[in-house]
């Protein structure tokens, strides 16, 4: 790790391209600033007023010149825009086969849940060579999940899920920060990401104490809250069946179709009337707002996800 380098190490697959875009924008800005500066300076000298009664000759504009200095910068801006947009969509569209990790921000710590039941605080362990999808939630205020070495940063907003992803490339330990002022101890809210070779990661997973898996915890909550009384697996009852719901389109009463992703499931638990499934009634299901913690919600959702593809297992 270059101690004095102005840039953090590049430890994820996307880091190189993020840096390249950054350098491109800095280079363009520097060249344009220098160009404007020198042109202003040389024109100020060349066309300075030489005597008090000097009258400058009127000038007539030049259409070709105007077009040139409009079109070229416009093209350069479009490159920035196009490149930035492409990168943005890549950075925030997790691939389908990604490993899942769940991170909840809470004043002032990061709680990490692995699907198999391992838990950590302010520590995140990931293998190299795999895409890692991190689902972010907040228990209280806005935090920001920031891993400089991966060039990834995203606000974590109470009341919604954000999924980010990265593919670690270099084993090592990297800083994890909260990058949003979130109260008096904001500066202490951080930790470490440990990137390991896949075999070491497997050994770490196996050797780390684990509780019930997220799916098992979710199943427990599902019973505890009485969800099973109405949501019969594949049977049409008073409430929509939950088997095979996750990841699939759901037809709503108002004619819209939505994809049942984490955000949809979360909303349906906390605010069941927000989106009524076609063919079902309003006000049948009570809201569970305030009764389930963010962790509990993630577990419930993990359980509902497991109903869609019960054979899906992490390698
Ligand atoms: Cu959380 Cu700053």
**DSSP bridge partners of 187:** none
> What pLDDT, on a 0 to 100 scale, did the predictor assign at position 101?
93
Mean pLDDT score, 178-206: 93
Under the banding of pLDDT at 50, 70 and 90, the label for residue 133 is very high
The CA distance from 38 to 41, in Å, is: 5
Is residue 189 scored above 90 in pLDDT? yes
Per-residue tokens: 176: 């994890």
Mean pLDDT of the chain: 88
Residue bearing the bigger pLDDT, 81 or 50: 81
CA of 297 to the centre of ligand 1 (A): 21
241/261 Cα distance (integer angstroms): 15
- CA distance readout (Å), 41 to 45, 58, 217, 240, 290: 6, 21, 69, 72, 64
Lowest pLDDT segment from 11-25, 57-71, 187-201, 278-292: 278-292
* Cα distance between residue 213 and residue 119, in whole Å: 10
Which atom of ligand 1 lies nearest, measured to the CA of 156?
1
Averaged over 191-200, what is the pLDDT? 94
Q: pLDDT value at position 2?
A: 47
Q: How far is the CA of 166 from the centre of ligand 1 (A)?
A: 21
Ligand 1 midpoint to CA 182 (Å): 4
CATH assignment of 214-306? 1.10.760.10
Atom nearest to 142 CA in ligand 1: 1
Token pair belonging to 5: 């380098």
Task: Give me the half-sphere count of Cα atoms (radius 13 Å) on the Cβ side of residue 192.
Answer: 7
**Residue of higher predicted confidence among 142 and 49:** 142
Report how far ligand 1's centroid is from the alpha carbon of 41 (Å): 46
Instruction: Answer for the pair 273, 254: CB distance below 8 angstroms, yes or no.
Output: no
Percent of the chain having pLDDT more than 90?
Answer: 47
The predicted pLDDT at position 314 comes to 35
Cβ 165 vs Cβ 196: under 8 Å: no
Q: Which of 11-25, 43-57, 193-207 is least confident? A: 43-57
Residue burial 24-33, b: 16+ Cβ < 10 Å; e: rest: eeeeeeeeee
**Chain region(s) in the chain for CATH 1.10.760.10:** 214-306
Report residues whose beta carbon is within 6 angstroms of any ligand 1 atom. 105, 108, 143, 178, 180-182, 186, 189
Is the pLDDT at 154 greater than 60? The verdict is: yes
Task: Give the DSSP letter of residue 118.
Answer: B
Tens-digit pLDDT profile for residues 259-272: 888 888 888 888 88
Q: Whose CA is nearest to atom 1 of ligand 1?
A: 143
Residue 313 pLDDT: 38
Question: Please, where in the chain does CATH 2.60.40.420 lie?
Answer: 8-50+59-210
CATH placement of domain 8-50+59-210: 2.60.40.420
pLDDT value of residue 312: 46
Task: Between 194 and 226, name the one with better pLDDT.
Answer: 194
Q: Which atom of ligand 1 is nearest to the CA of 187?
A: 2
Report the separation in Å between the CA atom of 69 and the middle of ligand 1, taken as the mean of its atom positions. 44
188 — pLDDT class (breaks 50, 70, 90):
very high
In this structure, of 24-28, 89-93, 209-213, the range with the lowest mean pLDDT score is 209-213
What percent of the chain lies above the pLDDT cut of 70? 95
**Model confidence band, residue 309 (pLDDT cutoffs 50, 70, 90):** low
Mean pLDDT within 4-26: 89
- 229 C-alpha to center of ligand 1: Å? 39
Hey, is 108 helix, strand or coil? coil
CA pair distance 277, 285, nearest whole angstrom: 12
56-105: pLDDT as tens digits? 888 888 999 999 999 999 999 999 999 999 999 998 888 888 998 999 99
| Cβ-based burial of 155 (10 A; exposed 0-12, middle 13-18, buried ≥19) | middle
Residue 15 has pLDDT above 50, yes or no: yes
Contact 176, 146 (CB under 8 A): yes
- Reported as a pLDDT band with limits 50, 70 and 90, residue 54 is confident
Q: Which two tokens stand for residue 81?
A: 């825009």
Residue 126 and residue 137: Cα distance in Å, rounded? 19
For the CA of 186, the closest atom of ligand 1 is 2
């Amino acid at each position: 790790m270059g101690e004095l380098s102005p840039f953090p190490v590049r430890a994820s697959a996307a880091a190189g391209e993020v840096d390249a875009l950054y350098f491109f924008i800095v280079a363009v800005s520097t060249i344009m600033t220098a160009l404007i500066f020198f042109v202003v300076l040389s024109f100020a000298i060349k066309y300075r007023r030489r005597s008090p009664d000097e009258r400058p000759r009127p000038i007539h504009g030049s259409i070709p010149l105007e077009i040139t200095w409009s079109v070229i910068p416009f093209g350069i801006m479009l490159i920035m825009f196009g490149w930035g947009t492409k990168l943005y969509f890549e950075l925030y569209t997790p691939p389908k086969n990604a490993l899942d990790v769940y991170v909840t921000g809470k004043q002032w710590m990061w709680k990490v849940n692995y699907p198999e039941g391992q838990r950590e605080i302010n520590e995140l362990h990931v293998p190299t060579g795999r895409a890692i999808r991190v689902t972010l939630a907040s228990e209280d205020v806005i935090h920001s999940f920031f891993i400089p070495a991966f060039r990834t940063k995203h606000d974590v907003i109470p009341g919604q899920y954000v999924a980010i992803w990265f593919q670690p490339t270099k084993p090592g330990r990297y800083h994890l920060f909260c990058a949003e002022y979130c109260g008096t101890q904001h500066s202490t809210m951080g930790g470490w990401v440990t990137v390991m070779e896949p075999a070491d990661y497997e050994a770490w997973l196996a050797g780390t104490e684990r509780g019930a898996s997220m799916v098992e915890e979710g199943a427990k909550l599902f019973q505890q809250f009485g969800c099973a009384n109405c949501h019969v697996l594949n049977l049409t009852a008073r409430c929509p069946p939950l088997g095979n719901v996750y990841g699939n389109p759901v037809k709503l009463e108002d004619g819209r179709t939505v994809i049942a992703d984490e955000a949809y499931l979360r909303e349906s638990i906390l605010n069941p009337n927000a989106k009524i499934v076609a063919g079902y009634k309003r006000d049948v299901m009570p809201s569970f707002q305030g009764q389930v913690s963010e962790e509990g919600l993630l577990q419930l959702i993990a359980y509902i996800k497991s109903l869609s593809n019960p054979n899906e297992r992490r390698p």
